[in-house]
Structure 1
Amino acid sequence: MKRLSIAGLGAIALIATVPFLGQILGVANIWYSGSAYAQNVKTQGQIQLRLEAEKLVVAQDQQGKQSQKWEPLKGQVVVRPGDVLRYTLNAENKSDRPVKKLTLNQPIPKGTVYVLKSVNVINNGKITYSIDGGRSFVENPTVKVTLPDGKVETKPAPAIAYTHIRLQIPSIPAKTTIKATYQTQVR
């Protein structure tokens, strides 16, 4: 029964990102800070989820020195192939009790490719990935590759194969916010 409520929290995180999937490539009119609520029915803990997106902007000064900064994506924003986007997922436990075993599934938005090893989770969360549309998750996805001589080898999955990221947080203390970030690159 507890698994069902945890899966429900993951579904809320997934639903919070569904608008990203329907976007026309290159135009992001919904990439803004928003919020959603999830509730752990068994403990009555309330989690507020907020997903934010930023674009990496590289500037060059007159001396040729490059600088990088993250610019929030708000309103109608144009993204181009090669642009790097960073997503930040904040999960705030608004209750007076800890929430245990929180699982959040985040789809990689269509038209983008996951930047390998870019996930950063505060609070010692476990990170797993899916390459099959979110049906299964593993720490190190692999694919079978047929070599020119006909032999089949198992190799690490390429970044383009990643479809989802799963964050499993053991516990969020009462009145605490945890934060996770990951990056994608526009195709």
Structure 2
Amino acid sequence: MQRVSGVCIGALALFATMPFVGQIPESRWHSTSAVAQSAKTQGQVELRLQAEKQVVAQDQQGKQSKTWTPLKGQAVVQPGDVLRYTLLSENKSDRLIKNLTLNQPIPKGMVYVLNSIDVAKDAKITYSIDGSRTFVENPTVKVTLANGKTETKPAPASAYTHIRLQIPSVAGQATVKATYQTQVR
């Protein structure tokens, strides 16, 4: 059985997105890909991050339609734009990879669109609101009420900093696809 370190893959997923993260405040996007290789088992996972911008059109009857336009090169995005990210994780080897963990940062200048993630049903999805120090399925924050009491409430979308996908196994030569959305602040 082949194992790939989740920390190694998560770090590489973060590394693969760093050129992109640095571009968001300037309202530009750059695509990238990377290959992760476990020195212990020689398994390879290629990671690709793609982005699309939501385009909303209205016909003559006032009916709205939504389509997705790929962002290529140095695309410009505006506040309020919704972006859909597609993370493709391809097992380049012929062997099964177990316990693949992918960490995706929510880029600065973006807000995660709650419940927008779409990934294989056997994947475990957790979120961080503290810069990836901890991950939980349903992040919460403590809020002080007017009467001085504190109450625990669901964390607002603007608090999310990372998404973690834990995939039990990826067959040889298989690709796992995950999508999620963010909105430009």
> TM-score range, shorter-chain basis?
over 0.9
**Counterpart code for 1:67:** S
Which residue of structure 2 aligns with residue 25 of structure 1? 25
Contact 2:57/2:64 (8 A) holds in 1:
yes
Q: Residues 54, 24 of structure 1: CA spacing in aligned structure 2 closer, same or farther, 3 A cutoff?
A: closer
**Counterpart code for 2:52:** E
Query: How far apart in 2 are the matches of 1:87 and 1:7?
Result: 21
Residue segments in structure 1 that go unaligned for 5+ positions in a row: none
Which one is further off, 131-140 or 59-68? 59-68
Q: Which runs of 4+ in 1 moved over 6 A?
A: none
Q: Identity across aligned pairs (percent)? A: 70
Contact 1:12/1:38 (8 A) holds in 2:
yes
Which residue of structure 2 aligns with residue 11 of structure 1? 11
**Counterpart code for 1:8:** C
Which residue of structure 1 aligns with residue 160 of structure 2? 162
| Residue 3 of structure 1: how far off its partner (Å) | 9.0
Which residue of structure 1 aligns with residue 34 of structure 2? 36
Q: Residues 152, 4 of structure 1: CA spacing in aligned structure 2 closer, same or farther, 3 A cutoff?
A: farther
- Does 2:102 match 1:104? yes
- Match of 1:120, SS state, is coil
Which residue of structure 2 aligns with residue 50 of structure 1? 48
Measured on the aligned residues, the alpha-carbon RMSD in Å equals 1.7
| Residue 124 of structure 1: how far off its partner (Å) | 1.5
Provide the TM-score with structure 1 as the length reference.
0.93
Query: How far apart in 2 are the matches of 1:26 and 1:116?
Result: 24
| Residue 122 of structure 1: how far off its partner (Å) | 1.9
2:182 to 175, 181, 184: 184
Contact 1:142/1:155 (8 A) holds in 2:
yes
Provide the TM-score with structure 2 as the length reference.
0.94
Q: Residues 4, 121 of structure 1: CA spacing in aligned structure 2 closer, same or farther, 3 A cutoff?
A: closer
Which residue of structure 1 aligns with residue 138 of structure 2? 140
